[in-house]
Amino acid sequence: MFWGKSSMNDKMLKTILDDLEFFEVIPHCEESEGDLRRNSAILRRLLVEGDLGQAWRFLGFKKEPILEGPDLVETLAPYNLSQIDSAVISGPSNRGVFTMSSRGIKKNQDDFVRPKYSNMYMSKYLESPVFYFNKVWITRREVIKYIANYCGGVHLASGSESKEYAQKVKAIEGHFGAYQKDMIFFELSSIQQSLIRSDDIIALKTKIRERLPIDPEA
């Protein structure tokens, strides 16, 4: 759903607040793939369909929320992409994952690849790649849409991946893993952490709480 500013109301804001707070219930890395699959429906609505940005502007904030996340393009910038077979970056800076498979790149102790992290407006964050595989970049937006639309987050359409983004993500499914999860699911956990840790999202939640009536049973 993509709520326009004129149609936003307190009930919708409460739903957005509940969803953001829900991401804090299970600690990072402890979610199951099933938990993350179900959460993909929330992430699709908040980020891909734009509800979070609509709430942000409705409450008087400017532009978009800023999210911090690993930046694969900046991390790989010093290297020749023709020598890289695959690269994956995911997770917050204190518990992130980065791996790169390359040919012909000499590595020594002084040439250790250190993941770069960047602060990005939400739209850029979504379009920022987190996988590089067989010369193809795969973005956060594409990972969210694939899990929500093809893996049962919202729809279950296994075997009918007709969209280009779905074919891209399906090609990496099962190739990488972290913390007993397929890496595409671990990336959803990383996105949730970016939302939880963002100063702008914390400010948004505070603004919603100030606007909503106090629950006498809380």
Higher pLDDT, 39 or 214: 39
Residue 97's nearest CA partner among 194, 196, 190, 193 is 190
Residues 6 or more apart whose CB falls under 8 angstroms from that of 158 comprise 150, 151
Rg (CA), the chain: 18
- Over residues 174-184, the pLDDT tens digits come to 887 777 788 88
Q: Give CA separation, 117 vs 16, 20, 65, 209, in Å.
A: 26, 22, 16, 30
Q: List residues bridging with 214 in a β-sheet.
A: none
| Phi, psi (degrees; rounded to nearest 5) at 69 | -160, 165
Using CA of residue 155, residue 161, residue 167, residue 172, what is the dihedral sign? Answer: positive
pTM: 0.86
Asked whether 46 and 103 are in contact (CB, 8 A), the reply is no
Euclidean distance between CA atoms 84 and 100, whole angstroms: 7
pLDDT band at 202 (very low <50, low <70, confident <90, very high): very high
Q: Are strands 181-182 and 177-178 parallel, antiparallel or unpaired?
A: antiparallel
Mean pLDDT, rounded, for 185-191: 91
pLDDT value at position 69? 92
pLDDT value at position 207? 96
- Over residues 65-116, the pLDDT tens digits come to 999 999 999 988 888 888 888 888 887 766 667 787 876 555 543 445 678 8
Q: Give CA separation, 106 vs 81, 87, 100, 109, 116, in Å.
A: 14, 16, 13, 10, 20
Asked whether 186 and 97 are in contact (CB, 8 A), the reply is yes
| Residue 53 parent element (H or E) | helix 51-58
Euclidean distance between CA atoms 184 and 175, whole angstroms: 10
Higher pLDDT, 154 or 150: 150
Residue 95's nearest CA partner among 25, 180, 189 is 189
